[in-house]
């Protein structure tokens, strides 16, 4: 196989071929590194190339296979690791110039699990500084470009890893999701992404430090890949409790789903408006699920307006003192992140009294109970990732009205975060130079349910990829 053909393989295909000797891990890594050299100058998705360490890891894996050892379920799979996930091979910068030399003392536990399973990090993925924009740009590494349309944002905050996967630089990426930061860039890139349930994948660092409650309960780590089967494979390795993360849990991950196959379709969540192309994509996914034997019904999930509103209030209230009070954050943020956050809180009723703050968390319990009951009737909720096309670069810095418009477009995204629910973004084709897609949301610990529905959607549509030069 030539290099380009190798970089078009899924993670599952690569692992199978390395395990049975049709490919070596060294050949796969070299193909990925060649693709990075070819494509990354155009899109700036990869921040650090880990060539020497990746080649050494691949050679070691090949030697182990030659000795008859089991190389693991991810044998030779090249991955990217987001800049805010600890990997001792390079600094964990979170896109911050003052953190450029912050080499972590240990890997994140789920990174160690992936390494033990045979995965090989070949690059770091770009992100907005500290991950608090729906775009990917920072003062340390610069802007990542959307490979489908460079005039539009690639989404954030796991934008670098999403673009790296979509363009064949890696077979899978590792990112995180506090307000859609896996699903939105995955959607923008035309690939699949899994937002895991709160606690299913442990923290991105073994360092223990005080964290805002919204980070504790709404931020998760998960994979991006070019197929839903790859998400399942990666999650099966990544999940599980960590002694360093007191909120992490170990729950069995079933290999399939044999429960009730009912789907609630929400084309325009809470009636705030939806782009016609987005609406058509949701309905086409609903048709695909019906053809696969699911019972499909248009039904509104509970209180998306309140869930999205409280997510914005909590995230803004908790982050404002850290980001906007001089001397609190340990170093400078980019002008874009500061401007975005200042604009974002203009239209937010901050929870600036203890009773308001406590009341928001108390209300979360009510909505979580309503969604639990709704999922008992409809195990899957199908809806848009975002109700509008990906915006042009700079839109999120054009004033408070723009930040509010973005939040409204992402209302179903942040509802899943607010409630700690698992969700899969899955592509459904292309319209012009715009990848289409949807998300499916399941109950807590129901990753296998969301993945099953996403597989059936995926099987109805041909895979998509941006058109970039061949190697």
The string of pLDDT tens digits covering residues 348-388 is 999 999 999 999 999 999 999 999 999 999 999 999 999 99
The string of pLDDT tens digits covering residues 243-281 is 999 999 999 999 999 999 999 999 999 999 999 999 999
The strand pairing partners of 425, in sequence order, are 193, 439
Is 181 labeled as catalytic in the residue annotation?
A: yes
What domains appear along the chain, each with residue ranges and CATH number?
A: 3-458 (3.90.1300.10)
The string of pLDDT tens digits covering residues 291-344 is 999 999 999 999 999 999 999 999 999 999 888 888 889 999 999 999 999 999
pLDDT score at 325: 87
Catalytic-role residue among 157, 158, 315, 334 = 157
3-state per-residue secondary structure call for the chain: CCHHHHHCCCHHHHHHHHHHCCCCHHHHHHHHHHHHHHHHHHHCCEEEECHHHHHHHHHHHHHHHHCCCCCCCCCCCEEEEECCCCCCCCCCCCCCHHHCCCCCCCCCHHHHHHHHCCCEEEEEECCCHHHCCCCCCCCCCCCCCCCCCCCECCCCCCHHHHHHHHCCCCCEEEEEECCCCCHHHHHHHCCEEEECCCCCECCCCCCCCCCCHHHHHHCEEEEEECCHHHHHHHHHHHCECECCECCCCCCCCCCCCCCCCEEEECCCHHHCCCCHHHHHHHHHHHHHHHHCCCEEEECCCCCHHHHHHHHHHHHHHHHHHHHHCCCCCCCCCCHHHHHHHHHHHHCCCCCCCHHHHHHHHHHHHHHHHHHHHHHHHCCEEEECCCCCCCCECCHHHCCHHHHHHHHHHCHHHHHHHHHCCCEEEEEEEEECCEEEEEEEECCCCCHHHHHHHHHHHHCCCCCCCCCCCCC
pLDDT score at 471: 42
Is 157 labeled as catalytic in the residue annotation?
A: yes
Across the range 47-71, mean pLDDT stands at 98
As a whole number, the mean pLDDT across the chain is 97
pLDDT score at 468: 73
Determine how many CB atoms are found less than 10 A away from the CB of residue 393.
18
Note the Cα 6 to chain centre separation in Å.
Answer: 24
Whether the per-residue pLDDT at 469 is higher than 70: the answer is no
Is 82 labeled as catalytic in the residue annotation?
A: yes
Whether the per-residue pLDDT at 470 is higher than 50: the answer is no
The string of pLDDT tens digits covering residues 9-25 is 999 999 999 999 999 99
Grade residue 226 by pLDDT with cuts at 50, 70 and 90: very high
Catalytic-role residue among 181, 205, 248, 334 = 181
Percent of the chain with pLDDT over 90: 96
Percent of the chain with pLDDT over 70: 99
Decide: 234 and 114 in contact? Cβ < 8 Å: yes
Rounded to 5°, the CA angle 215-219-221 comes to: 140
Grade residue 1 by pLDDT with cuts at 50, 70 and 90: confident
Catalytic-role residue among 12, 80, 82, 197 = 82
Across the range 153-170, mean pLDDT stands at 98
The string of pLDDT tens digits covering residues 60-106 is 999 999 999 999 999 999 999 999 999 999 999 999 999 999 999 99
**What token pair was written down for 366?**
């009510």
User: Rounded to the nearest 10 degrees, what angle do helices 335-346 and 400-409 cross at?
Assistant: 80
Query: What is the C-alpha end-to-end distance of the chain, expressed in Å?
Result: 12
The string of pLDDT tens digits covering residues 186-201 is 999 999 999 999 999 9
């Amino acid at each position: 196989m030539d290099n380009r053909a190798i970089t078009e393989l899924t993670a599952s295909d690569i692992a199978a071929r390395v395990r049975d000797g049709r490919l070596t891990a060294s050949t796969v890594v070299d193909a990925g590194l060649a693709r990075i050299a070819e494509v990354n100058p155009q899109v700036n998705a990869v921040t650090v190339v880990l060539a020497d360490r990746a080649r050494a890891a691949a050679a070691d894996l090949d030697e182990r296979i030659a000795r008859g050892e089991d190389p693991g379920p991810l044998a030779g799979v090249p991955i990217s690791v987001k800049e805010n996930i600890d990997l001792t091979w390079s600094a964990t910068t979170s896109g911050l110039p003052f953190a450029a030399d912050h080499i972590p003392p240990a890997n994140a536990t789920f990174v160690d699990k992936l390494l033990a399973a045979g995965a090989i990090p070949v690059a770091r993925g770009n992100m907005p500084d500290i991950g608090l924009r729906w775009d990917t740009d920072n003062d340390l590494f610069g802007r990542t470009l959307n490979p489908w349309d460079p005039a539009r944002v690639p989404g954030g905050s796991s934008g670098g890893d999403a673009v790296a996967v979509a363009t064949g630089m890696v077979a899978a990426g590792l990112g995180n999701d506090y307000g859609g930061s896996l699903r939105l860039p995955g959607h923008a890139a035309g690939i699949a992404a899994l937002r895991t349930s709160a606690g299913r994948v442990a923290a991105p660092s073994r360092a223990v430090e005080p964290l805002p409650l919204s980070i504790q309960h709404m931020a998760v780590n998960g994979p991006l890949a070019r197929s839903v089967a790859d998400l399942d494979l990666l999650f099966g390795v990544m999940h599980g409790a960590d002694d360093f993360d007191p909120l992490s849990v170990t729950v069995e991950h079933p290999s399939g789903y044999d429960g009730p196959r009912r789907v609630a379709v929400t084309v325009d969540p809470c009636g705030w408006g939806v782009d016609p192309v987005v609406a058509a994509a949701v309905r086409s996914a609903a048709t695909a699920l019906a053809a696969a034997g699911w019972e499909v019904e248009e039904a509104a999930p509970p209180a998306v307006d309140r869930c999205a509103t409280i997510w914005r209030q909590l995230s803004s209230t908790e982050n404002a003192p850290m980001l906007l009070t001089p001397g609190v954050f340990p170093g400078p943020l980019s002008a874009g992140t500061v401007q975005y956050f200042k604009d974002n809180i203009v239209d937010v009723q901050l929870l600036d009294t203890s009773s308001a703050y406590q009341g928001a968390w108390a209300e979360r319990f009510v909505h979580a109970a309503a969604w639990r009951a709704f999922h008992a009737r409809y195990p899957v909720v199908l809806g848009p990732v975002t109700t509008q096309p990906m915006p042009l670069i700079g839109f999120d810095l054009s004033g408070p009205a723009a930040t509010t418009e973005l939040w409204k477009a992402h209302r179903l995204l942040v509802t899943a975060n607010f409630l700690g629910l698992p969700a899969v973004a899955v592509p459904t084709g292309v319209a012009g130079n715009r990848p289409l897609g949807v998300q499916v949301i399941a109950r807590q610990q129901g990753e296998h349910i969301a993945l099953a529905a996403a597989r059936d959607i995926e099987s109805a549509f041909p895979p998509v990829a941006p058109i970039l030069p061949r190697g």
